[in-house]
Structure 1
Amino acid sequence: MTGLKKTIPAIAALALLGSVAMPAMAQDGPGAGKTIKMAQATWDTGWFHAEIYKQMFEELGYTVEGPTTLDNPPFYQAVGYGDVDLWVNGWFPIHDTYRPAFEASAEIIGAVAAGGALQGYLVDKASAEKFEIKTLDDFKRDEVKEAFDRDGDGKADLVACPPGWGCEVAIEDHLTEYGLKDHVNEIKASYSASMADAVAAYESGEPILFYTWTPNWTVNELKIGDDVVWIQVPEEATDENAAAGIDGCVADPCVMGFEANDIVPVANSGFLEENPAVATLLKSASIPLEDIFAQNAAMNDGADKPEDIKKQASEWISGNRDVVDGWLDAARKSAE
């Protein structure tokens, strides 16, 4: 444990070499003279809201280091140790597996987006109809595997999640539980690159199978209900595992295999106690999912450089100035 604790700061220090901390706002505020060590997730669809929160912290007078890009395991260990103060890229309950690493000294606080983060498996609509695909179990059928086998290994290709992501563990569990390891090949390379390849395959008329989540640029590129459909995991629907009214699912209610997640900040508890303005802001602030969708689509269209994301975040703040000022005013008052 001691060796791990020494490793985490080294990881963060290396990552910070490539980042430039923005100067604190000229105005006085509860964060004047203080620094936030901020992290962000490896999935770029979460960088927009990370940048929005960073800029709001700066308006409170804080200097923000980072955000340092970290995989889930090192982040949750680092925030537990206090080597990193926070991020706004928690996904729960899918990140529940990391609770033992942080919950004794860090906490979930507030919500960037509550309950709207769906995730599951999708198939192009034409293939779902042609092969009557309803659940993952259909990928045990030879004709389905052959149609979705793009690398010639005899298995259906599934765009899955890179190592270290919470969804990687969930997908592995599904394929094992449902006896699909001999029938489905998981593609665990860079998610964005793998999905770009899948989109190109779809546009060439090839069948595709992929995991995704919302908000995500994939559902702007491949419209759910028109281009692709949610399929189910092979379980009988119950009140506990099924969700009604999911647009674009092959069944209603839909057994997606994943609960709807909250996108949430996770912060070190000691840091929050010392910085009530940050705690108040995290409890108050949120970002509409449709705004995250729109930014993710723009990013996928090429506006994906760090300066683009900073501009998108600042424009969002400007466009929501009244509500943002309300959050900031409450944060300032809490520190008095």
Structure 2
Amino acid sequence: MKKALAIFGLTTAVGVSISQGVSAKETIVIGEVSWDASLAIENVLKVVMEKNFNVDVEIMSADQAAIWSAMDKGKGSIDVHPDIWTSSQTEPWAKFIAKGGKESVRANKTPYLGTDGFYIPGYIQDEYGVKSVYDLAKPEIAKLFDADGDGLGEYWPGAPGWTGVKINQIKAKSYGFDKYFEPIIVSDSIIKAQLKTAYRKKEGILFYYWTPEWIHFTYDLRKLEEPAFTGYAGDSKKLHKDYNPDGCYKFSDTENWLQDSEIKCGVPNTEIYIGYSASLEKRAPEIAAFLSNVALDASYVSQWIFKIASEGEYPDEMAEEWVKNNSAIVDTWLP
């Protein structure tokens, strides 16, 4: 009996020792926003993290406000925003990332660059000569984009919850085409379906969009000309490197944002970052170092999006294949 107890005690001690020596895996949660670049980037990050670190990675669909809030709290409900467009996320960037703000969210050191603006089909531009946003402020041009026959053209300023929805409605007012157009605020997937239909019927469609994105590989799309950027105006931008009290870009995120704002220009190429909760620096320091090091290129992102959205590859399989074939790039991201 004593021998049996001794063996039991030794087994128990060994079991305790082993359990204490093996740390539980940290779970990293990436927020998925509603566009294809996010879907592509998050899957590449997931594959790299699970292959190189002792973590599990989950992906959770959420709107941007929820992702920012969760990263700020730092409790692990969502840890990573995979695709922060700084041009449309100026307010949360200032609040959570910028020095002097809460500094509860970090960003990777090297962004990739994107562009955005209003797009129309090439056949509309070629036949009717629509080249500038100011051409939209003509009733005869607006009729080309009147899909429901109510006498007003329709345009897509962005999906519900995007800061860009406000930005693009302000632009419509500032350029004068709001008198002839109405905003249609629907999801990204719906506008892509409408684009497919418009192209099949050779009809007009006006929408905000960006590069990199797969639709530019599939359709002949033309970006409408806007006046050159001359700087950000308004008191909230006084510390910005592009501040100009007489600048063309004044966005006031007030209760009367449409009346209080005026934007009469495009913007420079946008720096696009990966954001992550500062709490990862303590909870999973190797992951924080990795995310800080990730350096994407627009050409990578365009390739990923095209394979997923146009060629029908599953995002996880695309990511596995790319990571396998691009180990030299991935190695530069690892701490």
TM-score over 0.5 for the alignment?
yes
Partner residue, 2:225: 232
Please say if 1:322 is aligned against 2:316: no
Could you tell me which of 169, 176, 188 is aligned with 1:191?
A: 188
Relative distance call for 1:123 and 1:42 in structure 2 (3 A) is: closer
Relative distance call for 1:117 and 1:228 in structure 2 (3 A) is: same
Partner residue, 1:217: 214
Partner residue, 1:109: 107
| 1: CA distance, partners of 2:230 / 2:90 | 21
What is the correspondence of 1:66-85 to structure 2 with a 5 Å cutoff?
66-83=58-75, 84-85=78-79
Could you tell me which of 180, 194, 208 is aligned with 2:205?
A: 208
Please say if 1:119 is aligned against 2:116: yes
Partner residue, 1:313: 319
Could you tell me which of 98, 108, 113 is aligned with 2:92?
A: 98
- Give the greater-gyration-radius structure (CA): 2
Please say if 1:87 is aligned against 2:96: no
C-alpha RMSD over aligned residues = 2.6
Query: How far 1:178 sits from its partner (Å)?
Result: 3.0
Please say if 1:57 is aligned against 2:49: yes
User: What letter is aligned with 1:182?
Assistant: K
Q: Determine if contact 1:38/1:64 at 8 Å carries over to the other structure.
A: no
Relative distance call for 1:111 and 1:256 in structure 2 (3 A) is: farther
Partner residue, 1:37: 29
Query: How far 1:112 sits from its partner (Å)?
Result: 6.9
What is the correspondence of 1:134-213 to structure 2 with a 5 Å cutoff?
134-213=131-210
Structure 2: runs of 5+ lacking an equivalent? 1-21, 233-263
| 2: CA distance, partners of 1:256 / 1:300 | 31
The TM-score with structure 1 as length reference comes to: 0.74
The TM-score with structure 2 as length reference comes to: 0.74
Relative distance call for 1:153 and 1:44 in structure 2 (3 A) is: same
| 1: CA distance, partners of 2:132 / 2:287 | 44
Relative distance call for 1:238 and 1:309 in structure 2 (3 A) is: closer
Matched position secondary structure for 1:151: coil
Partner residue, 1:296: 305
| 2: CA distance, partners of 1:186 / 1:50 | 30
User: What letter is aligned with 1:109?
Assistant: A
Q: Determine if contact 1:45/1:217 at 8 Å carries over to the other structure.
A: no
User: What letter is aligned with 1:94?
Assistant: S
What is the correspondence of 1:10-49 to structure 2 with a 5 Å cutoff?
33-49=25-41
